[in-house]
Chains A and B, each alone.
Chain A
Amino acid sequence: MSTTKTLTIYLLTGPYTSQCTDIALDIAEKALNKGYKANLFLYMDAVHVPKKGQKTLRFPKVEERLRKLISIGLRVKACVRCASARGYVEGEQDKETGTFPTTQYVNGASITSIYDFSDWIKESDKVITLGE
């Protein structure tokens, strides 16, 4: 019995400041379309990626793309230390889910501890890093 392989993408850079964010979403989309599981862990300025209300005139809309990818199975988590520093964490950790509350993220993206990243690493077949 074969199990589906998992790719974890670790992103270090925020939306619009670097093409790496779009590259991360490109790779996630291709992996999902090829039938792999895909995780996206957001670190440092990448915690801005799931922020709601992004408006761009000329650039591909990161928020919209992220929503679509979440709807086809992309799991998205952001590091609490980085998210908290940038003003996204709005309360205490939920003991059941382990996530930290925010009203500022698109549905399906959550704020969790870096230990979740370690767990994802352990479960993955491959891990790639993108960003500055």
Chain B
Amino acid sequence: MKTIEVPALARVEGEGGLYIGLENGKAVEIRLDIYEPPRFFEGFLHGRFLQEVPDITARICGICPVAYQMSSVFALENALGIKITPQVRMLRRLMYCGEYIESHALHIYMLQAPDLLGKESAFEVAAIAPDVVKNALRLKKIGNAILSAIGGRSVHPVNVCVGGFYQWPDSQPLKKLLPDLEWGLQTSIDCVKWAMTLPYPDLEIDYEFVALHHPDEYGVVEGEVWSSKGRKLSIKDYEKGYIEEHVKRSNALHSHTVDGSTYLVGPLARLNLNHEQLLPAAQKALKDSNLKLPLKNPYKSLIARAIELVQFYEEAIQLVKSYKPEGPAHVELKLKTGEGAGATEAPRGLLYHRYKIDDNGLVTFAKITPPTAQNLPRIEADLFALAPKIIKMPEAEATLTAEHLVRSYDPCISCATHFLKLKVEEKGK
């Protein structure tokens, strides 16, 4: 039996390894081994006061803490039956723009592009193309600057609360970012052009795409859960369409649709389902790229991220220009027993939370479904699809192609860990 083994997956968030066992030219075993230990967030959220939740769930992921804060606060506001003001909603979207920008710039240039350029890291890319990496760092820095201006710091920001924000951020630091944001918009348009020139491996998968959809804007914070197979659910009915199960075969808690099939969340799903809601510059970047939608090649998630980079720079400019700290920064809370669900689009895909609270505002139940947990069965299925092709390759190339596939998902293993089980089967069984 020929095997491909990558004991430590590089350039992903969190730590995991990949194992593919081949027999007679067919993949007989594929395992994405996760050695991230479980941290039991849903366990220790039990009994915490609801206003502590966004500070705690942020710690699930250092790369996308805003996503965890946002899905929590929307879910808890639904549990309390309160409505945020339009000003709060706009500032939440701006904050999300910051997170998309820093996360996508990091993934495009520092995590995935080295694979496409035949390099081991962004440091090596910097040696041959210093300007590419310098631009990447500046693109990323501007996203972090938005987060710091609103939330005090970019990793685990401190200003988000149930009901809105603790206080309105000063508008001056945000307005001062406008020239940088304009530069970022132009540079991300160039990024799409550059992304189109990169040599992606061939692989087309007939995915079921799932993403939040909003009729009036590129779906991020509210809307319906849409599937490319036509399923349309409200966020509170998410669990009627998508189920997780502790499957022994894969040693993991896998998400699947009610019909038992795998599905894909993330940039490809968003772009394919929501491209009509892109803002004009992002629309134009998409059109000029001559991309044919739906985009079905997982490696080309990079291009979808680049188009989203344009989208979120463009939206950030609009939101910064129109930002006026007016009215209360947060709605006062009236505690009552309740249950609520919330979902937002993390940079890696749909992130669903559901909580129950008692009349003291204490959490009595928490459920968190991260994007990587939903994508995990899909990653393994893609690796099976890829297997016949890669067994014909020299080992180093085969390993890299498989690894690159996993990286193109931008998996956040720290977040997904509690759905991924460590190895159960004995080796050599």
- Interaction A to B: no
Q: Which residues from chain A sit less than 8 Å from chain B, CB to CB?
A: none
Q: Which residues from chain B sit less than 8 Å from chain A, CB to CB?
A: none
